[in-house]
């Protein structure tokens, strides 16, 4: 397949309003060339509208879109070197698989279309079904053909709009790994829209979290998970325990906190700008059930009563009621450690560095 010059996809102040409703609100994004980028957010947050503007199917009300420094905001969809793979594969039923993949190449008059289309089919491990018709393939195979058909055109940007949405869970998980492999082999920029946080974290180098038309946070999966910057991101990417806390002092890089009358600490560097009122966040798997008080040295601790025990296979989830009425969720690996009993009183503890602090002027969103 021929090499083609391209570059970063850059959105600057991109906005889309429908009458009085703002679906996409002033988005600034730089998507590096060759990266696997996920737009993640709940239904209606503006992901598809953003993608459609990149494809040229929708016109921004304000802002610009460029690829490799070239402004494409006003460029017609078919003149952009951008391809889209949708959830419904939309293969041509009367053409065989090879012809489906070769369709764009033939239309552009590419002479070695057969070689290129076969290469693309090999990439998705479907060269052996080149002569079959789409209806003879499973849903997962059809989706891979749709991907081969998009990749063969070597677009500057490949847009994927919930492409795995129609597949069952097991196939979906397989395809996530497969898509990641294909992207790294072809080295094209993939922009993948999904509302599934696990899917985004599995596949993407970088995730942009969207809510209500706005970008909430952009980062690699590890940073987004470990250091969410909003209560929305903290709750949308996995589970978080959020505790109301007041900063009582800062000394030598450590902030002292009051959490419902219990003294705790958090690294001062993790304090958000703003007031003394915080949400202190801690992931369920970062909380330990402590059986011996000697193990609690250096940890933030809380006492509570186990109100639910759920076996999850590799781990067990506990709900632990706090004296102030809220429950903390704790997830412990089932690695032979003793398990707490329903109704027992336990001490919970976590390493202060494992928690994160958010400005409490935000809604807990819990
Ligand atoms: P989903 O995952 O459900 O597809 P999404 O995050 O992709 O959601 P969009 O499809 O981008 O969300 O829609 C964002 C908002 O804009 C929604 O509230 C939607 O109703 C609204 N919207 C989208 N297209 C139009 C339109 N043509 N006219 C009016 N409102 C629209």
Residues 69 and 181 in one domain: yes
The domain spanning residue 302 has which CATH number? 2.40.50.140
Is pLDDT at 87 greater than 90 in this prediction?
no
Alpha-carbon distance 315 to 140, whole Å?
Answer: 30
pLDDT digits (tens, 9 = 90+) for 9-24: 999 999 999 999 999 9
Alpha-carbon distance 173 to 146, whole Å?
Answer: 18
The domain spanning residue 47 has which CATH number? 3.40.50.300
Give the pLDDT confidence score for residue 6 in this predicted structure.
55
Give the residue carrying structure tokens 């933030």: 300
Domain assignment present for 40: yes
Domain assignment present for 1: no
Between 147 and 165, whose confidence is greater? 147
Of 213, 231, 249, the domain-final residue: 231
Is pLDDT at 1 greater than 90 in this prediction?
no
Per the prediction, the chain carries an average pLDDT of: 91
Closest CA to 47 of 192, 183, 185, 204: 192
What strand order describes the sheet that includes 214-219?
Answer: 82-85, 157-161, 189-194, 36-40, 206-211, 214-219
Residues 195 and 252 in one domain: no
Pocket lined around ligand 1, Cβ cut-off 6 Å? 18, 21, 23, 41, 43-49, 195
Cα of 61 vs centre of ligand 1, distance in Å, is 15
Residues 214 and 271 in one domain: no
Residues 254 and 215 in one domain: no
For the chain, the first-to-last Cα distance in angstroms comes to 49
Residues 310 and 189 in one domain: no
The pTM (predicted TM-score) of the whole model is: 0.87
Give the pLDDT confidence score for residue 295 in this predicted structure.
77
121: left (phi over 0), alpha (psi -120 to 50) or beta: alpha
For residue 274, give the 3-state DSSP assignment.
coil
Of 207, 231, 255, the domain-final residue: 231
* CA distance to 244, 262, 280, 298, 299, per residue, from 290 (Å): 22, 17, 20, 13, 10
Cα of 340 vs centre of ligand 1, distance in Å, is 45
Residue nearest to atom 2 of ligand 1 (CA): 43
Which of 46, 52, 161, 191 should be mutated for ligand 1, with most atoms under 8 A from CB? 46
Residue nearest to atom 5 of ligand 1 (CA): 44
Residues 129 and 77 in one domain: yes
Q: What ipTM is given for this predicted complex?
A: 0.95
Which of 42, 44, 86, 162 should be mutated for ligand 1, with most atoms under 8 A from CB? 44
* CA distance to 18, 42, 50, 343, 362, per residue, from 27 (Å): 16, 17, 9, 49, 21
Between 337 and 91, whose confidence is greater? 91
Q: How many CB atoms lie within 10 A of CB 214?
A: 16
Closest CA to 91 of 79, 104, 82, 81: 104
Domain assignment present for 2: no
Give the pLDDT confidence score for residue 244 in this predicted structure.
94
Q: Write phi, then psi, for 348 (nearest 5 degrees).
A: -105, 145
Residue nearest to atom 16 of ligand 1 (CA): 23
Cα of 48 vs centre of ligand 1, distance in Å, is 7
Say what angle helices 139-151 and 169-186 make with each other, to 10 degrees: 20
Q: Which two tokens stand for residue 280?
A: 């202190």
Alpha-carbon distance 54 to 10, whole Å?
Answer: 10
> What atom of ligand 1 comes closest to residue 24's alpha carbon?
14
> What atom of ligand 1 comes closest to residue 46's alpha carbon?
11
Cα of 301 vs centre of ligand 1, distance in Å, is 44
Is pLDDT at 4 greater than 60 in this prediction?
no
Cα of 95 vs its chain's centroid, Å = 35
Cα of 211 vs centre of ligand 1, distance in Å, is 12
- 3, with CB counted inside 10 A (0-12, 13-18, 19+), is exposed
Residue 366 banded pLDDT, cuts 50, 70, 90: very low
DSSP, residue by residue, 288-335: EEESSGGGGTTSEEEEEEEEEEEE-SSEEEEEEE-TTS-EEEEEEE-S
Residues 286 and 174 in one domain: no
Residue nearest to atom 1 of ligand 1 (CA): 43
Please give the residue range of the domain that contains residue 30. Answer: 9-231
Q: What does the pLDDT average to over 68-73?
A: 94
Residues 137 and 90 in one domain: yes
Q: How many CB atoms lie within 10 A of CB 292?
A: 7
Cα of 58 vs centre of ligand 1, distance in Å, is 12
Q: Are strands 262-267 and 206-211 parallel, antiparallel or unpaired?
A: unpaired
pLDDT digits (tens, 9 = 90+) for 157-179: 999 998 888 778 888 888 899 89
Is pLDDT at 115 greater than 50 in this prediction?
yes
Give the pLDDT confidence score for residue 362 in this predicted structure.
61
Q: Are strands 345-350 and 300-311 parallel, antiparallel or unpaired?
A: antiparallel
96-100, 144-148, 259-263, 272-276: least confidently modelled range = 272-276
> What atom of ligand 1 comes closest to residue 16's alpha carbon?
16
Give the residue carrying structure tokens 């869970």: 169
Q: Write phi, then psi, for 147 (nearest 5 degrees).
A: -70, -45
- Residues comprising the chain, all counted: 366
Give the pLDDT confidence score for residue 249 in this predicted structure.
92
Cα of 6 vs centre of ligand 1, distance in Å, is 29
171: left (phi over 0), alpha (psi -120 to 50) or beta: alpha
Residues 248 and 310 in one domain: yes
Count of domains for the chain: 2
pLDDT digits (tens, 9 = 90+) for 301-338: 999 999 999 988 899 999 999 999 999 999 999 887 66
Give the pLDDT confidence score for residue 275 in this predicted structure.
76
Residue 2 banded pLDDT, cuts 50, 70, 90: very low
Residue 152 banded pLDDT, cuts 50, 70, 90: very high
Residue nearest to atom 9 of ligand 1 (CA): 46
């Amino acid at each position: 397949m021929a090499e083609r010059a391209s570059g970063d996809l850059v959105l600057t102040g991109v906005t889309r309003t429908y009458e009085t409703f703002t679906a996409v609100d002033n988005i600034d994004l730089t998507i590096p060339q060759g990266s696997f980028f996920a737009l993640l957010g709940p239904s209606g947050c503006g992901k598809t509208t953003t993608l459609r503007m990149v494809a040229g199917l929708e016109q921004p009300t304000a802002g610009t879109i460029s690829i490799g420094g070239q402004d494409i905001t006003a460029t017609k969809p078919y003149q952009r070197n951008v391809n889209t793979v949708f959830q419904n594969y939309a293969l041509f039923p009367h053409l065989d698989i090879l012809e489906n993949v070769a369709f764009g190449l033939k239309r552009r008059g590419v002479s070695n279309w057969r070689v290129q289309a076969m290469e693309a089919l090999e990439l998705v491990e479907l060269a052996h079904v080149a002569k079959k018709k789409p209806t003879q393939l499973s849903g997962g195979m059809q989706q891979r053909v749709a991907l081969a058909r998009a990749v063969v055109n070597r677009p500057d940007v490949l847009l994927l709009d919930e492409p795995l949405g129609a597949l069952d869970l097991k196939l979906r998980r397989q395809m996530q790994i497969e898509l990641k492999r294909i992207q790294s082999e072809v080295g094209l920029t993939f922009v993948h829209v999904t509302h599934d946080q696990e899917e985004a974290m599995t596949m993407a180098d970088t995730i942009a979290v969207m809510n209500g038309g706005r970008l909430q946070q952009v980062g690699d999966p590890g940073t987004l998970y470990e250091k969410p910057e909003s209560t929305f991101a903290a709750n949308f990417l996995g589970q978080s325990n959020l505790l109301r806390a007041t900063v009582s002092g800062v000394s030598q890089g450590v902030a002292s906190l009051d959490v419902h009358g219990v003294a705790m600490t958090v690294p001062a560097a993790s304090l958000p700008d703003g007031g003394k009122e915080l949400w202190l966040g801690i992931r369920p798997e970062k909380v330990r059930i402590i059986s011996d008080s000697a193990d609690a040295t250096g940890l933030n601790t809380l006492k509570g009563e186990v109100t639910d025990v759920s076996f999850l296979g590799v781990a067990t989830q506990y709900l632990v009621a706090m004296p102030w009425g809220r429950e903390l969720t704790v997830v412990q690996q089932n690695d032979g450690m003793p398990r707490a009993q329903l109704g027992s009183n336990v001490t919970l503890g976590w390493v202060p560095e494992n928690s994160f602090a958010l400005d409490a002027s935000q809604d807990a969103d819990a």
